[in-house]
Amino acid sequence: MESSLELVVGLLMIAYGIIALGYLVGQQLNTSRVGLATGLGVVAVMVLLQVIGVIPILGDLIGGGLLLTGLGAVVLTYFGLQEFEPVSLPE
């Protein structure tokens, strides 16, 4: 029971990461409606994952890296509750 709950939470985190990546892709569109732009961005990310998945080994690595990037963004921003501020190095 415990491991299946962890699996569901992990899948939800990856799904939230895909939505975050879709939001970033949707910002590049010239649309005033944020929800529509995010939806189109999510569709674009999912199509990209499907197309990249056709390439035997490299596609899996790129797709996994993209999903891990979205997962990292979710974790670093505490599920979108805090804005991410990159590290600034002293000069």
Tell me the domain boundaries of the chain: 30-75
Q: Is residue 86 predicted with pLDDT exceeding 90?
A: no
pLDDT score of 51: 95
Confidence of residue 87 (pLDDT cuts 50, 70, 90): confident
Tens-digit pLDDT profile for residues 27-44: 998 888 989 999 999 999
Query: Residues 41-54: what's their mean pLDDT?
Result: 94
Q: Are 63 and 49 in contact (CB under 8 A)?
A: yes
Q: Are 21 and 70 in contact (CB under 8 A)?
A: yes
Query: What is the DSSP code string of 41-69?
Result: HHHHHHHHHHHHTTSSSHHHHHHHHHHHH
Measure the CA–CA gap between 32 and 47, rounded to whole angstroms.
Answer: 23
